[in-house]
Amino acid sequence: MKKLILAGFTILSTMFAFAQHNEKTLSIIPEPVKMVSGTGYFKLPQTLTLNIPNIAELKTTTEMALGKLSVTGKQVALSSAGTAAIRLVLNKSTDNELGAEGYRLSVKQTGILITANKPAGLFYGLETLWQLMPQEIDAKKPARNVEWQVPLVEITDYPRFAWRGLMFDVSRHFFGVKDVEDFIDHMAEYKLNLLHMHLTDDEGWRVEIKSLPRLTSVGAWNVKREGYFGTFAPIPADEPRTYGGFYTQDDIRALVKYAQARFVNILPEVDVPGHSMAAIVAYPDLSCTPGSDQYQVVSGQKFMDWPGPIALQDNTLCPANEKVYTFLDTVFTEIASLFPFPYIHVGGDECAKNFWEKSDQIKQLMARENLKTMEEVQSYFEKRVEKIVESKGKKLIGWDEILEGGLAPNAVVMSWRGIKGGIAAAKMGHQVVMSPTTFVYLDYMQGDAISEPHVYSTLRLNKTYEFEPVPEGVDSKFILGGQANLWTEQVYNTRHLQYMIWPRTLAVAECVWSPKENKDWKRFANKVEHNFRRLDLQNVKYARTLFDPIFQVSKDSRDSLLITLSTEVEGLTIHYSFDNSHPDNFYPVYNQPLLVPKDAVMLKVITYRGDQVMGKQIDMPIAELQRRLTKPKNDD
């Protein structure tokens, strides 16, 4: 009897251990369409064979797979045999459920099989396989004492949207080729397939145009300043302008090739007619405004008034100047030859029109073309630009301001000022990419302003996870997909770049790949925490702000300050102090709104899970909480 009880206990223990392990190893981001778990594992053999189709599109995939598997310490070799431990197979007849990027992944005790219609599907199947393996698969060198096994599972997976993007602003601060390659690598790991490169702005022109060399010899360089962008003092005219850089055309070709090998397309953006100071400094006759030959590439000093925008210096190309259209024809000719992606982004956002209003050239244009408003002037410009872009065999896409004054006939709209622009464009029959500030602006702070690098708004992970690219009442056939945007005014280096992207990009990836009905915040939050170990092994910096307390302030019936604390994720305890000492898990636990003790000046809080510190300590001045009672909305 004792033996039976012991045997039963052993079985239950094994089942419990498996359930624990299975919950962890099946932590896949983005969540697959269908996933059925089996019982048991496929253990990687000491001689590990890999069968991948020997075609050009999968050459890099093969090299990456061999590199990944090398950390297992196994003898890894390619094989054409049908008995290889890991087999990737292109379907001989189309599997209609999968489309061009879908895959089926089957892990049995005899081996692993990934099938797909196209090479991209095989690539994405492998990316899922790496997440099923022990996390040490992401280590930089061979890992010891790891049981290399994969849980038995059947997965059918394909994307909800074809456009799964991430925008990288390389203009405000320049990031080199290696930085962009790393950016592409991490995008592809989570099945994002569109890199939007913001290549030009007031702070720098970052792509070589051979016919217009001053765009990079002059326009790519400014003065280095550190601090809060937009608040720097005026830059002396004689200060050396040595900060910046640009991509040569060979660099661009190499990046395009690098991205294509990982099934990522690159969308180039040349932001016009606003945000064009770097171009105007290089070629002042593109401006409507006399004296533009005295301008300098912006280095972070104040040159715009917000809201508005109202320009203190004219950073717009002149729609009434024929030289502008000749210039853009030259630019887009070379851009189109460098980027095979069928779209070119032409910006169109935040165009200050106060200098246009004073321009005789603009007044003459308005009279000649019967234009009534400055928005119609910009619409005139956008329609002419669309013809130039289409003459290069490309489609025009722009920010939602291009709707104002009348939309160019075939333009695609990228909706960033919330979702209204996207809704309007879709109802007009135009294609739309959803990219609203409300959910996917990754330059926003991830936690409380008191502890984060300061920007003007906060966007927490759980809010990003609410992103839904198809608004209610909109025909989904007009929604190409969605993307997140990382503007880099306040991002000075690669480590901070990573901190701003992760983990919010994980939320974006799941929102644009996974079926809407498969999303679950609690499960996703657990997967994010599991993925932190992967990012650690890859030496990627990320924010842990989902563990930080959230502060809400109000007043009780006696007009005393009342502080309510919460967290984005469950299972945490919040410990606090008012006595200026640093709290740990022996300090009081928050369990109801706090009244501030008389004369207290500081509330310090920190979160734990059991004995483990989860968030960072936040020191919140009571004066700041008092200020928040009366601050304007969104004033962080």
Q: What's the pLDDT tens digit per position in 544-567?
A: 999 999 999 999 888 889 999 999
Report which DSSP code applies to 576. E
pLDDT at 507: 98
The reply to whether the predicted model has a pTM over 0.85 is: yes
Show which of 157, 190, 222 is a domain's final residue: 157
Is residue 269 among the annotated active site residues? Answer: no
Is residue 275 among the annotated active site residues? Answer: yes
214 shares a domain with 149: no
113 shares a domain with 18: yes
Show which of 492, 513, 537 is a domain's final residue: 537
CB atoms within 10 A of CB 572: 21
In this model, does residue 215 exceed pLDDT 60?
yes
Helix/strand/coil (H/E/C) assignment for every residue in 271-293: EECCCCHHHHHHCHHHCCCCCHH
**Mind listing the pLDDT tens digit for each residue in 238-288?**
999 999 999 999 999 999 999 999 999 999 999 999 999 999 999 999 999
Q: Is residue 42 part of a domain?
A: yes
Distance CA 337, CA 28 (A): 38
pLDDT at 633: 54
210 shares a domain with 127: no
485 shares a domain with 409: yes
Is residue 136 among the annotated active site residues? Answer: no
169 shares a domain with 134: no
439 shares a domain with 562: no
Distance CA 444, CA 567 (A): 19
Q: Is residue 453 part of a domain?
A: yes
557 shares a domain with 518: no
Q: Is residue 235 part of a domain?
A: yes
230 shares a domain with 194: yes
Percent of the chain with pLDDT over 90: 92
Q: Can you give the CATH number for the domain in which 89 is found?
A: 3.30.379.10
User: Active site residue: 169, 201, 443, 568, which one?
Assistant: 201
Q: Is 576 within 8 Å of 622 (Cβ atoms)?
A: no
Domain boundaries, position 615: 548-630
Q: Is residue 22 part of a domain?
A: yes
**Mind listing the pLDDT tens digit for each residue in 374-390?**
999 999 999 999 999 99
pLDDT at 630: 78
Q: Is residue 199 part of a domain?
A: yes
pLDDT at 2: 41
In this model, does residue 204 exceed pLDDT 60?
yes
User: Active site residue: 57, 154, 350, 636, which one?
Assistant: 350
What is the average pLDDT across 573-587? 98
In this model, does residue 18 exceed pLDDT 50?
no
User: Active site residue: 186, 196, 275, 575, which one?
Assistant: 275
CA angle 429, 320, 322 (to 5 degrees): 95
Distance CA 561, CA 595 (A): 6
16 shares a domain with 152: yes
Distance CA 531, CA 118 (A): 27
411 shares a domain with 267: yes
What is the average pLDDT across 98-126? 98
Q: Is residue 332 part of a domain?
A: no
pLDDT at 24: 44
Q: Can you give the CATH number for the domain in which 574 is found?
A: 2.60.40
In this model, does residue 11 exceed pLDDT 80?
no
**Mind listing the pLDDT tens digit for each residue in 408-458?**
999 999 999 999 999 999 999 999 999 999 999 999 999 999 999 999 999
In this model, does residue 73 exceed pLDDT 90?
yes
567 shares a domain with 517: no
Q: Can you give the CATH number for the domain in which 241 is found?
A: 3.20.20.80
116 shares a domain with 200: no
Nearest-CA neighbor of 504 among 174, 186, 263, 197? 186
Show which of 101, 127, 157 is a domain's final residue: 157
pLDDT at 632: 57
Q: Is residue 415 part of a domain?
A: yes
Report the domain count for the chain.
Answer: 3
